[in-house]
Chain A
Amino acid sequence: MQKYSGFGLFKHSLNHHEDWQRAWRNPTPKKKYDVIIVGGGGHGLATAYYLAKQFGVTNVAVIEKGYLGGGNTARNTTIVRSNYLWDEAAHLYEHAMKLWEGLSQDLNYNVMFSQRGVLNLGHTLQDMRDIERRVNANRLNGVDGEVLDPKQIKEIVPHMDCSENTRYPIMGASWQPRGGVARHDAVAWGFARGADMHGVDLIQQTEVTDLIIEDGTITGVKTNRYGEIKADRVGCVVAGNSGVLAKMAGFELPLESHPLQALVSEPIKPILDTVVMSNHVHGYVSQSDKGDLVIGAGIDGYNGYGQRGSFPTIEHTVQAIVELFPIFSRVRMNRQWGGIVDTCPDACPIISETPVKNLFFNCGWGTGGFKATPGSGNVFAASLAKGEMHELAKPFSMFRFHNGALIDEHGAAGVAH
């Protein structure tokens, strides 16, 4: 496999970039694998990568019904942070953050991870109490964080209206300097290339239509293109379609699917070099390297599989953004889209064994799973390699909804992103 480097770029420029190797193969699946991963989004591909690279399990296939990274991975607003309230969640997201920090080097692929900092604004006394509590909890868990007052915020984001003359004046914020954004497609492609390099078969345009279960143990999957493919272990990482796969396996998951929308403006000159989020007025914005403002809305309150999202929701978000940044009021919006997010009752994911032996699920990331991509893949790979859940994954068992050990992250999950 070709290694990417500055020198390579120069060399290939000499013949007009026409002889680059393909980033991954397009193989026909074998009859049997040690591990099959269903779903080729960021999380599935990261799982495959770490399985092969770190845990030496290379007889692995990823089966994706569309193209790689075409699900929510391609639809998200790419915010990365780890300032979650509870220990279990903070440990998991911080594990991901540490992997992000070395990811481009590790993958030899520029995922454009940019630690430009994330501000979570507070507009009420209660917001500020919650922010102080969360920042203190973060620090105890080794996660960076500070509480800022409006003057300090103004220094970081001079264009934001931090005055007292707004409907919901900004009273302060939490600030995680190590947070930021990454390039979503590059993350999927980098993991895909890395997995392929270590021998993983990436099978695209192939849908898993059934799970083969004998005596309570999974033995393989049925596909629409290649019939049955056997496997010792199967990991499902299919986000919004998890309920459908669980039904094939004969159990239910406490997930509900909602549309979540985002929109981007036309590209403009650099104006915002950090990420601003507000739970209270509900909106968030950052600026991509291309120059467009990336704005995220909330989920629609009702269940839905229509990949569009409702108008009142987007209107509400734009109101919030214009209130925070009056200077953006005449920026033209270019595109708007929606993704279907699989939300869990406690706003935390499910990374879990299931009632079926050797079948594992990684889902329920809802509105905020992009930031966890490397960490989620890493702990899920460890679990699939050993057949036993990784320490960081254990609290996220699907059985927590029966024994009551929920991890309520509605506060820190906050704005839907």
Chain B
Amino acid sequence: MFHIYCPHCGEYREEEEFHAKGQAHIARPLDPEACSDKEWGEYLFFRKNPRGLHHELWVHAAGCRKFFNVTRDTQTYEIKEVYKIGEQPSFVTEE
């Protein structure tokens, strides 16, 4: 069971209050019309799937309902850091 620190509530809460929303920092293409099929498909469907550090988006669904980012190890499940949307992570992932 994770204990996750919500940076908005400023408290640790249990995993069940949260939802994982997948990879963080995915930028929507500035000009979607100019994307090739490949670029658009990759934006929509291709996600990083590392065995190791992963930047991911979480939402405090049963709490303040706000989004934030987490850097987590997908092998050991250790949460390295929690940071707000718009902030940069201090841990670097492999890819």
Q: CB within 8 Å of B: which residues of A?
A: 243-244, 252-257, 300-306, 310-312, 345, 401-404
Contact = CB atoms under 8 A, between A and B. Distances in A.
| Most chain B beta-carbon neighbours within 10 Å: one of A255, A300, A301, A303 | A303
B51 interface: yes
A305 B41 contact: no
Given A253-B46, A311-B1, 20 more contacts: A243-B49, A244-B51, A255-B49, A256-B47, A256-B49, A257-B74, A301-B20, A302-B20, A302-B56, A302-B74, A303-B20, A305-B75, A306-B76, A312-B16, A345-B44, A345-B45, A401-B42, A401-B44, A401-B46, A402-B42
A404 B41 contact: yes
Nearest to B58: A302
B1 A305 contact: no
Contact of A402 (B16, B38, B51, B75): B38
Contacts of A312: 1, 15-16
Contacts of B77: 304, 306
Contact of B45 (A254, A257, A302): A254
Interface of chain A, main secondary structure: loop
A252 B46 contact: yes
Contacts of B45: 254, 345, 401
Interface string B42-76: 10111101010010100000000000000010111
Interface size class of B (residues with CB under 8 A): 20 to 34
Contacts of B16: 312
Contacts of A310: 1-2, 15
Q: Which 10 A-B pairs have the closest CB atoms?
A: A302-B20, A402-B41, A301-B20, A254-B45, A401-B45, A345-B45, A401-B41, A305-B51, A254-B46, A402-B37
| Residue with the highest number of chain A CB atoms closer than 10 Å, among B1, B40, B45, B76 | B45
A364 to B, nearest CB: 11
Contacts of B20: 300-303
B25 interface: no
Nearest to B15: A312
Interface in B1-23: 1-2, 15-16, 19-20, 22
25 contacts: A254-B46, A255-B49, A256-B47, A257-B49, A300-B20, A302-B56, A302-B72, A302-B74, A303-B22, A303-B56, A303-B74, A304-B77, A305-B74, A305-B75, A306-B77, A310-B2, A312-B1, A312-B15, A345-B44, A401-B42, A402-B37, A402-B38, A402-B40, A403-B41, A404-B37
A311 B20 CA distance: 15
A402 B46 CA distance: 10
Contact of A254 (B38, B47, B72): B47
A399 to B, nearest CB: 9
